[in-house]
Structure 1
Amino acid sequence: MKWSNTSWNNIQSIYDKIIEMPFINQLANGTLPLDQFQFYIQQDSIYLENFGRALALIAARAHEVDDVLTYTRFAEGAIVVENALHESFFKEFKISKTHDVNPVCHHYIHYLKSTAALDQVEVAMAAVLPCFWIYKKVGDYIYENQSVKNNPYQQWIETYAGEEFGLLVDQAINCCDRVAETCSDNQKELMHKAFYTASQLEYNFWDSASKLKRWEIE
């Protein structure tokens, strides 16, 4: 069994809980409260900038030239392309650009950047994979289960359910499978753990938007 198949099986229960969340189902049927979407986009814009930095670190440390180029393109996409998408959301949904990072986003971005900088590069590749893979799966799930026309969040849905994003996800999965083949059993286990931890943080990120979680003392 490929490394990616085993890793996904390990987090299947987390993914199942994600698609059962009210936030996801309300996003699908267009009833998600505006303040939750605004909060989510604010935090996601912070996350993506730092996700791009983590990807750039992986590119700098990758062993194979193809991986250097792949993760460099991933980083560019996260910072440039995704930010352009968020810019349109800021305008359309009247979202303030003045905002602080919340506790969950803070935890997640620092986990990814520290892993990308300090851990084995193959482990870092595994840590950033859930952001690609879970978003694609969630996007596909919402797209296939839409119940309304003229969903105000349709642009978000089509971005992550789209074919172009799907190709990037396949690349990220294939990279992890390929490098895992060169790793020892212990190193593969570290990759699995990183993938699992980041998947937990994906759940917490959605949950924090649903509950508008902020620092208890500000």
Structure 2
Amino acid sequence: MSFTNSLWEKISPIYKEILNLPFNKELTVGTLSEDKFAFYMKQDALYLADFSKALAIAGAKSQNAKELKDFLDFATGAVVVERALHESFLQKFDTHIDVGKSPACFSYTHFLLSTASLEDYPVAVAALLPCFWIYREVGLHIHERSAENNPYREWIDTYAGEDFSESVDRAIEITDRAAKTSSEPVRRRMTQAFIDSTKMEWMFWNSAYKVEQWPV
């Protein structure tokens, strides 16, 4: 079993809980309210601004020129492709980014930025992988079950698409390569970072459904 397959096996129960979240169940059948989806898109736009920075920081730590380029390409894709998706929906809903980061978004982005900045390259790579991998699997899961007239079809098609899937495969490949040349203590830190990010993926979707606000 590859290192990343072992990671997925460890987070499989969390992934199942992600699929069972009301947000993703209602997104699948197209009944998710526009207010909740718009809040999610605003939070995702705020998230991606920091995610792209974390990708660039992690890539700069690589001693492999190809992987450096890959991470810079990932960061560019997050800014260009996914931002265009956000703007499309926000324009459709006649709204704009008029909120700050929710507690879940704040926690997740700060975890990624601090891990990318302070941890070893392999650990940073493992922390960033769930955002790629889980989004693809959720996108494919929803795509297989969604009706053609789903109002969120553009979002679904983006994350179930071949272009995004190729990026995910590359991120998985990079993580496996990093694990092969790492010591066992580093691999343990990689595993924990992957699990922590996966938990924050659950928190992010759950907070969007609740339109989470700061308590004070």
TM over 0.5: yes
The TM-score with structure 2 as length reference comes to: 0.98
Which ranges of structure 1 fall in alignment gaps of 5 or more residues?
none
1:55-74 equivalences under 5 Å are 55-74=55-74
Off by >6 Å, runs of 4+ in structure 1: none
**Is 1:182 matched up with 2:188?**
no
Instruction: Name the residue aligned to 1:212.
Output: 211
Distance in 1, matches of 2:65 and 2:16, equals 36
- CA displacement at 1:97 relative to structure 2: 2.0
The 8 Å contact of residues 139 and 157 in structure 1, kept in 2 or not, is answered as: yes
User: How many corresponding residue pairs?
Assistant: 216
**Is 1:54 matched up with 2:58?**
no
Instruction: Name the residue aligned to 1:17.
Output: 17
Whichever residue aligns with residue 163 of structure 1, its letter is E
The 8 Å contact of residues 42 and 95 in structure 1, kept in 2 or not, is answered as: no
1:130-209 equivalences under 5 Å are 130-146=130-146, 148-209=147-208
- CA displacement at 1:35 relative to structure 2: 1.0
1:70-94 alpha-carbon deviations (Å, 9 max, x no partner) = 1010011111221111111110122
1:23-73 alpha-carbon deviations (Å, 9 max, x no partner) = 101101110011110110010000001000000101111111111111010
Distance in 1, matches of 2:129 and 2:121, equals 13
- CA displacement at 1:96 relative to structure 2: 2.5
Does the residue aligned with 1:173 lie in a helix, a strand or coil?
helix
- CA displacement at 1:95 relative to structure 2: 2.5
Does the residue aligned with 1:98 lie in a helix, a strand or coil?
coil
Distance in 2, matches of 1:33 and 1:88, equals 17
- CA displacement at 1:149 relative to structure 2: 2.9
Which ranges of structure 2 fall in alignment gaps of 5 or more residues?
none
Whichever residue aligns with residue 200 of structure 2, its letter is L
The TM-score with structure 1 as length reference comes to: 0.97
Distance in 1, matches of 2:59 and 2:186, equals 19
Does the residue aligned with 1:179 lie in a helix, a strand or coil?
helix
Instruction: Name the residue aligned to 2:123.
Output: 123
Does the residue aligned with 2:181 lie in a helix, a strand or coil?
coil
Instruction: Name the residue aligned to 2:103.
Output: 103
1:30-45 equivalences under 5 Å are 30-45=30-45
Whichever residue aligns with residue 212 of structure 2, its letter is K
